[in-house]
Homo-oligomer: A and B are copies of this chain.
Amino acid sequence: MMIEHDPAVRAVEATLFASEAPMTIEQIRAYVGEEVDVPGALGKLEEHYQGRGVELVKRGKTWHFQTAADLAHLLRREREESRKLSRAAVETLAIIAYHEPVSRAEIEAIRGVQISKGTLDVLMEAGWVRPAGRREVPGRPLIYATTGEFLTHFGLASRRDLPGLSDLKAAGLLDPVDLALEGLQGLSAVESGDMPEEGESELEIGEESA
A147: nearest chain-B partner, CB-CB:
B210
Residues of chain B within 8 A (CB-CB) of A51 are 2-5, 10
Q: Mark A29-40, 1 if CB is under 8 A from B, else 0.
A: 011110000000
Q: Quick check: B203 and A50 within 8 Å, CB to CB?
A: no
1/0 contact string of A1-37 vs chain B (CB within 8 Å): 0111100011111110111111110010011110000
Q: A67-B18, A74-B32 are in contact. Are A205 and B27 (CB under 8 A)?
A: yes
* A203-B67 contact in complex given A31-B75, A209-B148, C-beta closer than 8 Å: no
- Copies of this protein, total: 2
> B74 and A11: CB pair below 8 A?
yes
- Chain A's interface size range is 35 or more
Across-interface contacts of A190 in B (CB, < 8 A)? none
Binding site for B on A (CB under 8 A): 2-5, 9-15, 17-24, 27, 30-33, 50-54, 62, 65, 67-68, 71, 74-75, 77, 148-149, 203-206, 208-209
